[in-house]
Structure 1
Amino acid sequence: MSLRRPRGETSLQNGTITQEEKQRAPEFTYRESPLTVLLEHSLHIRAIYHIFVVILLVLLCDTVIYDLIERGKINIGVTSVLHGFGDIRRAAKLWFFELAVALAFYPALRIYEFVRNIIKRYPGLCKIWAVFGILCVVALEVTLVAVPVRDLANTYLALASSAVVTCEMFRFVMKICAAAAACAPRCHDNSAPLPSISQYVYFLFAPTLIYRDEYPRTKKIRWSVVVFHLLEVSAIIFYNSFLWERFILPYWSDHGKEPKVEAGTVVRGMFACVLPGVISFLCGFYCLLHAWHNAFAEMLTFGDRLFYEDWWTTSRFSSYYRAWNRIVHSWLRDHIYRPLAPHAGRAVSTLIVFLVSSAAHEVILALSFGFFYPVLMVQFGVFGLLMLPLTANSGRRFPNTSNLLMWLSFFIGNGLLWSLYAMEYFSRKNCPVSEHDSFFIPKSWSCPEIVLKPNWTFQNPFDLIY
């Protein structure tokens, strides 16, 4: 069953939206996710979906056979999943703390409005109170970030559990900021009443970071759709577990146990990570931005399901960054770029947006892995930023070639991410403890030592004489 579309609403044809429709369309309206439309109407896309399902089944069979032959028991990736989501009780405590801080914003907002109405006849006191209100929001945000970061920095939490905690931390930070920006003017000019507690709580869990009192709502919950998407999330978790066990552990689990490793071995391991890295990249996108958000949107009867656009067809990095994650992009646009652009200019504002986004991603990775290794920050905040002007014109003139080069960069970039972070992780795990070990200094740079193969020579590949 498709979402109800009011008369005159922009339509989604084949998963794409024209530029003219984007300009006419309101911020929130009844829209399906592009992949939902494509899977319903395109047999070709459905066949690609089935291919990924078959790959999952093949990896499952491969894991079962490997476990039976090597260990005499069936594991099917459960060990990696349980290890990744270890100490779930501690993660739940941190999440409930973050939720409590986010909920505390609402009574604070009511108190701010109450006092503001009392002193509204005194402009000087109103200015002081406004400054105090801003400081209170900042203090709330700092508390929301500082407590989980301090806890995770002092005691390591399992990778997946830590990633969930830190992602939720930033989500609540952006939710509070959006609600404060939308509601503060109402306290000053009484242009509209403040939202009810139910409206605010709905916003905390709705799949959007832009606050509105009301959103397009569907008439009923399709629980079959919810269950299906949650099953997809579970399957993708095991999908990544199989990729980890079959492609990462064989190459990198012993990295650091020997004092030296041949450069050829490292290079082969990096290339071996390219395909699983891209598959994991696509699965992660589908899991979070499609399956997870659509499941929550269905449970909350949230009508606007356009969480992303058809980024896979873009030929310019600027279009890719806007289309990849519309939820975060909209927040960065409304709360960082637009307020800064009139004063700092478009170029500086764009740079600040990239720095903020890349820093947030790096905090998530650093706290999840337990070390600071800014590979993603360099890829995203340096090379990604440089690709904006480089693909601005070429993307228009040579769209097919530019799209091919974009996908080439995705393959290489994800291969580097999977290999470099795995090298650092197992170096810290396997290498001897040193007094020079640091959270910020990569250990894989010094242990193990990467050497060339002794007596290695290059032979003419066209010489067929034996």
Structure 2
Amino acid sequence: MGEVINRHPSSSIEEEKKARRRKIIKQLPIKKFEIRDSLIAQLCEQNPHIRVVKHIFAAALIGLFINTVIHGFSERGELNLGLNVIATGLAKFHWVPPIWITLNGCIILCYFGFNVWARIRINMPLKSPNKKLWDSIWLLSLAAYYILQFRVISVVVTVLKLPIATSSVVCLEQTRLLMKIHAFVRTSAEKVINFKPHSDQKLNLASFKHFLYFLFAPTLVYCDEYPRRKSIRWNLVFEKTLELVGVIFYYAFLVERFIIPNLKDMGLRSYTIRELGMMAFDNFAVGLMFLLLAFYVVIDAAQNLVGELLRFGDRQFYLDWWTATNYSDYFRMWNMVVGDWLYTYIYKDFYESIVPGSKTVAKLTVFLISAIVHEWVLTYIFGFFFPALFLAFCFVGGCLSFLRIPKLDIVNIIFWYMLAFGCGLLSSLYAMEWFIRANVPIENATLSDFLVPRLFTCDCIVY
């Protein structure tokens, strides 16, 4: 009896300590939506000199177009307008609409499935032993759905042999929709679990109309209500549509003028390490242009276009990442659409609940998940496994993000150089591997042929 009495206070003390530790952990702030324009739009409006930067890029596009046409005519006697690259990349695009409709249909089924779980759960007795079982069944079903989605899309893209641009649309859209449904379920499930049926509290679940709006809104963070603009600015819609088309041609010209001529013979002849190194350095500026164009077309033009059509108020899709001096600031400010999702549903959950108080574990988890998803997307866009970006994310970006570097002009210059060099190197490596596999295809390829980079195994490098 005395032994029991001695144990009881100690166990209660331990529980008190745990409860005190939970209270000490600071609750991280949540995303606040408000009506505001994107940063580039604000800068262009406030300072007309900033608009000149856009004019410079437009002039460079015109110059690159003229250069590509003259170069193609003088070498091959044909007018090359970049249409061949676009047509090749977007071949089999007729598969995109049925795949997209199927993906959205599955997401809508998830919405109704969630409502079934929620309605039945709130009507269960407060201390019902079946609640845990009911929750576990649906949680496992959701996890299985995530895995199945990734697996099915990887098979579809591989079997249909979709080219780079077409497979990009499919893989990125599938990833976007999975992030959407996770955000909706994670936010709404918390309300259902905390709901007390016999209180004055009212459970407000998202209407189907609001859920559909969230699916298309330019945000990955779910909220019961978003600030909306009063009207659509059709001049902005026209401007962003024109920019989207222009950037697509910009990409085509860069590939046609710089990537294809330098790397088209990969796999057909031997290259020395010196030659490959020079090609990688030659793509320094091209890699930087790829990065800037990807930022502008995906994070600024496309998001602003969709946001304007939906009258979505909050256009803070990025911050002034170009002033960054370290990778931590860069990753945080470069793409806030994805960054807000990672912060809200990965970093915040790990820091507050899974590994309470550990910013390091939360940060490393964000980098690991981001690296895995990026690598999955690139693997099925290109049709082969080449983990260069994964290594860059985990061991370069991940490790360097912990360094605290002073915000000096010289450091910003070094940061931009490293960013440009890294993008050029990655562009070269993925292009080399792609041309090798295109020029020397393997019949009846095995899993090892898919996983092992042929750049290092095809004897096309002379050491």
2:400 paired residue number: 387
Give the CA deviation at 1:235: 0.6
Whole-angstrom distance in 2 between the partners of 1:187 and 1:113: 6
Is 2:313 the counterpart of 1:303? yes
Is 2:361 the counterpart of 1:348? yes
Give the CA deviation at 1:120: 3.4
Is 2:454 the counterpart of 1:443? yes
Verify the 8 A CA contact 2:266 2:460 in the aligned structure 1.
no
Q: Which of 164, 168, 184 is the aligned partner of 1:163?
A: 168
Q: Which of 323, 340, 349 is the aligned partner of 1:339?
A: 349
Whole-angstrom distance in 1 between the partners of 2:78 and 2:98: 34
Corresponding residue SS for 1:75: coil
Give the CA deviation at 1:47: 1.4
Whole-angstrom distance in 2 between the partners of 1:26 and 1:446: 48
Q: Which of 379, 385, 402 is the aligned partner of 1:372?
A: 385
Is 2:422 the counterpart of 1:413? yes
1:3 paired residue number: none
Q: Which blocks of at least 5 consecutive residues in structure 2 are unaligned?
A: 1-27, 197-201
Q: Which of 109, 114, 117 is the aligned partner of 1:112?
A: 117
Verify the 8 A CA contact 1:371 1:439 in the aligned structure 2.
yes
1:250 paired residue number: 261
Is 2:358 the counterpart of 1:358? no
Is 2:246 the counterpart of 1:235? yes
Corresponding residue SS for 1:389: coil
372 and 38 in structure 1: CA distance in 2 versus 1, 3 angstrom threshold:
same
Verify the 8 A CA contact 2:164 2:382 in the aligned structure 1.
yes
TM-score (norm 1): 0.87
Whole-angstrom distance in 2 between the partners of 1:120 and 1:155: 50
Amino acid at match of 1:361: H
Give the CA deviation at 1:433: 3.6
Corresponding residue SS for 1:350: helix
Q: Which of 404, 407, 415 is the aligned partner of 2:413?
A: 404
Verify the 8 A CA contact 1:33 1:290 in the aligned structure 2.
yes
Q: Which of 66, 80, 85 is the aligned partner of 1:80?
A: 85
215 and 73 in structure 1: CA distance in 2 versus 1, 3 angstrom threshold:
same
Corresponding residue SS for 2:129: helix
Whole-angstrom distance in 1 between the partners of 2:146 and 2:29: 35
Give the alignment of 1:9-24 within 5 angstroms.
none
Give the CA deviation at 1:25: 9.9
1:15-63 superposed Cα distances (whole Å, 9 cap, x missing partner): xxxxxxxx99961011111111112222332112111111100111112
Give the CA deviation at 1:68: 2.7
Verify the 8 A CA contact 1:56 1:239 in the aligned structure 2.
yes
Give the alignment of 1:91-110 within 5 angstroms.
91-110=96-115
Give the CA deviation at 1:155: 3.7
Corresponding residue SS for 1:74: coil
Corresponding residue SS for 2:406: helix
Amino acid at match of 2:217: A
1:138-174 superposed Cα distances (whole Å, 9 cap, x missing partner): 2332333221112123342110111111111111111
1:269 paired residue number: 279
Amino acid at match of 2:433: E
Amino acid at match of 1:307: F
TM-score (norm 2): 0.87
Is 2:433 the counterpart of 1:424? yes
Whole-angstrom distance in 2 between the partners of 1:307 and 1:115: 38
Q: Which blocks of at least 5 consecutive residues in structure 1 are unaligned?
A: 1-22, 453-466
Whole-angstrom distance in 2 between the partners of 1:178 and 1:278: 32
Whole-angstrom distance in 2 between the partners of 1:430 and 1:73: 23
369 and 251 in structure 1: CA distance in 2 versus 1, 3 angstrom threshold:
same
Amino acid at match of 2:423: N
| Greater RCO (CA < 8 Å, at least 6 residues apart) | 2
Whole-angstrom distance in 2 between the partners of 1:432 and 1:314: 42
Between 94-103 and 260-269, report the one with greater CA deviation.
260-269
102 and 26 in structure 1: CA distance in 2 versus 1, 3 angstrom threshold:
closer
Amino acid at match of 1:413: G
Amino acid at match of 1:101: C
Whole-angstrom distance in 2 between the partners of 1:432 and 1:414: 27
Give the CA deviation at 1:425: 0.7
Give the CA deviation at 1:137: 2.1
Give the CA deviation at 1:448: 4.2
Corresponding residue SS for 2:449: coil
Q: Percent identity?
A: 34
Whole-angstrom distance in 1 between the partners of 2:267 and 2:30: 54
